Amino acid sequence: MAETKREIERKYEATEDTPVPDLTRVSGVSEVVDRGVMELDAVYYDTPDLRLAAGGVTLRRRTGGSDAGWHVKFPVAAGVRDEVRAPLADTLPGELAELLRSRVRHAEVVPVVRLRSARDVRHLRAADGTLLAELSVDTVHAERLPTGAAASWTEIEVELDDGVDPALLDAVGKRLGKAGIRPSAAPSKLARALAETGAEPPAAPAPAKPGTAGAAVLAYVREQAEAIVALDPAVRRDLPDAVHQLRVACRRARGAFKSYRRVLDRDVTDPLGDELKWLAAELGVARDQEVLDARLTARVEELPPDLTLGPVKARLRRRDAALAANARHQALAALDSDRYLTLLDALAALLADPPLRKAARRDADAVLARAVRDDHDRLGGRVHRALALPPGHERDLALHAARKAAKRTRYAADAARPVLGKPAGKLAKRVKAVQSLLGEHQDSVVARAALRDFGIMAHGVGESAFTWGLLYGREEAVAAAAERELPGVWARASAPGLRAALSR
């Protein structure tokens, strides 16, 4: 069974003769305990084109030391990685292979580097004996596989123990700096080994001239494609908000294809957009369930006890558990499908050989500003149509359509922000307020449908339906308030000069 460890560490340049200063002078460190030397032997794996390394991900099989086994490391922030471990085996464990699927796809995983290290370990402990951090002086010999190109170096690594304040690393680093020991330029041993044996991951191509509409749009699409790939293992690990963020990346990429159809050929992007819509929908079952669960639970908790009649909370828990399990199963089935891998391959192919149209060669300012204005006009039409309808089902549908248009406009403005600057950012912020209000309205529509089902169920088994009806009425009030507020929020998002500023 795989386990995960948050790894927070710093690396420093050293030689075999570099003396480690007295670290008991660091606040909180009372003792430095020598733990001896360990011999470590690790083989790192990647695709032949080094896709894992390009994304800052490492996969290794290591023997020696206290954590021998298969390890996958995912970047979290500078100096912070999540290490997922599986027991030592001859071949890559399936549970780790799944976490790499979005990056590896149909490619073969092969040995690329072997690292043999002599690790001289010291423990930094507090006065009560608590382990604070582990410092090691690593003498490393790297061999590039299969060429045999070699490199050797010595480095100091300081890794924080679980739950210890990261400020300790700053204090240790300051003490090392005073001794003339400088931070390493390489983020990891693998990155250094690849660089020093002449096998760094290839840089992303520049498929369009800088400053053009094509370059701007492709940069945004690339950001979303990379987010999809990076968020896949987070969804599989069931990390908080991962499903939502992956779904947003799908929508942003699809929105860019639609908003910037003058830049990228729709014959290529429309089929891709359809597949992104499919993936977002498959993930949406899980995400929508999360949102609904949280909303209904909060609404019940708000009620006074004397208004909670019948087994309301128990019914919510049973329903939530069953639906959540089914939703997660559906999301993982989509990520495990060949259809999903084909989508990822298609996104990679588009970025490698983008279907640029004539407008892609023009200056980005005018092309992107026009696209954002067009989306904003489209949003305005949908808002006005919805407000012209009487309250009821048709207005609910129209408001939901306006919400989708608000998302598209906001995403288009976000994509244009690096080019158009503050005016695009201001428009995106105002439109986000429209989107949020319409989102609250739509959540109330979905909640009312679920509450109605609960009421019918309760009545059918002889339970009181009073609480479900009460909650239904409260959701009706929420929706009505959102509809009353919409004209004012839209007025701020369509203020005179807001759109015009995009072209200045």
Q: What is the mean pLDDT of residues 432-448?
A: 95
419 and 465 both lie in a single domain: yes
| 161, 246: one domain | no
**Residue carrying the six token digits 């929420």:** 478
Q: What pLDDT does 207 receive?
A: 66
The count of domains in the chain is: 3
- Do 398 and 471 lie in a common domain? yes
Query: Residues 457-469: what's their mean pLDDT?
Result: 87
The answer to whether residue 452 is domain-embedded is yes
Q: Is pLDDT above 80 for 325?
A: no
pLDDT of residue 49: 92
Q: Are residues 263 and 164 in the same domain?
A: no
Reduced 3-state DSSP string for 235-300: HHCCCCCHHHHHHHHHHHHHHHHHHCCCCECHHHHHHHHHHHHHHHHHHHHHHHHHHHHHHHHHHH
Among the listed ranges 296-310, 342-356, 481-495, which one has the minimum average pLDDT value? 296-310
**Phi, psi for residue 26 in degrees, rounded to 5:** -80, 135
Among the ranges given (232-246, 324-338, 482-496), the one the predictor scored with the smallest mean pLDDT: 324-338
Please, are residues 436 and 430 in contact by the beta-carbon 8 Å criterion?
Answer: no
Q: Is residue 201 part of a domain?
A: no
- pTM value is 0.89
pLDDT tens string 291-315 = 888 898 889 888 898 888 888 888 8
Q: Tell whether 252 and 376 lie within a shared domain.
A: no
Q: Which residues pair with residue 111 across a beta bridge?
A: 45
Using one digit for the tens of pLDDT, what is the confidence trace for 43-68? 999 999 999 999 999 999 999 988 89
Residue 36 confidence (pLDDT): 94
Could you tell me which residue, 262 or 313, shows the higher pLDDT? 262
The closest alpha carbon to 40, from 172, 179, 124, 157, belongs to 157
501 against 166, higher pLDDT: 166
Residues 43 and 186 in one domain: yes
Q: Is the pLDDT of residue 204 over 70?
A: no
Question: How far apart are alpha carbons 59 and 70 in whole angstroms?
Answer: 7
Q: For residue 148, which phi and psi values (nearest 5 degrees)?
A: 90, 0
Q: Assess whether 16 and 136 both reside in one domain.
A: yes
Q: Residue 241: give its domain's CATH number.
A: 1.40.20.10
Instruction: Among 275-279, 322-326, 358-362, 400-404, name the one with the lowest average pLDDT.
Output: 322-326
- pLDDT at residue 206 is higher than 70: no
Residue 113 belongs to what domain range?
3-196
Q: How far apart are CA 205 and CA 224, in angstroms?
A: 16
37 with 89, same domain? yes
> Is it the case that residue 1 has pLDDT exceeding 60?
no
Average pLDDT value for the chain:
92
205 belongs to a structural domain: no
Helix residue spans in 37-105 (DSSP H): 51-54, 94-99, 101-104
CA angle 16, 14, 157 (to 5 degrees): 110
Write out pLDDT tens, residues 369-423: 999 999 999 999 999 999 999 999 999 999 999 999 999 999 999 999 999 999 9
Residue pLDDT, tens place only, 4-48: 999 999 999 998 888 999 999 999 999 999 999 999 999 999 999
Residues 87 and 166 in one domain: yes
Residues 112-154: tens digit of each pLDDT: 999 999 999 999 999 999 999 999 999 999 999 999 999 999 9
What's the pLDDT band for 253 if we cut at 50, 70, 90?
Answer: very high
Cα angle: 208, vertex 248, 354; to 5 degrees: 20
User: Percent helix, strand and coil across the chain, each rounded to 5?
Assistant: 55, 20, 25
Burial tier of 366 (Cβ tally within 10 Å: 0-12, 13-18, 19+)? middle
331-354 mean pLDDT: 96
Same domain flag for 374 and 299: no
Q: Is 360 helix (H, G, I), strand (E, B) or coil?
A: helix
Q: pLDDT > 90: what percent of the chain?
A: 79
Output the domain CATH number for residue 7: 2.40.320.10
Q: Of 135, 165, 196, which residue constitutes the final position of a domain? A: 196
Residue after which a domain boundary falls, among 307, 338, 362: 362
Are residues 422 and 472 part of one domain?
A: yes
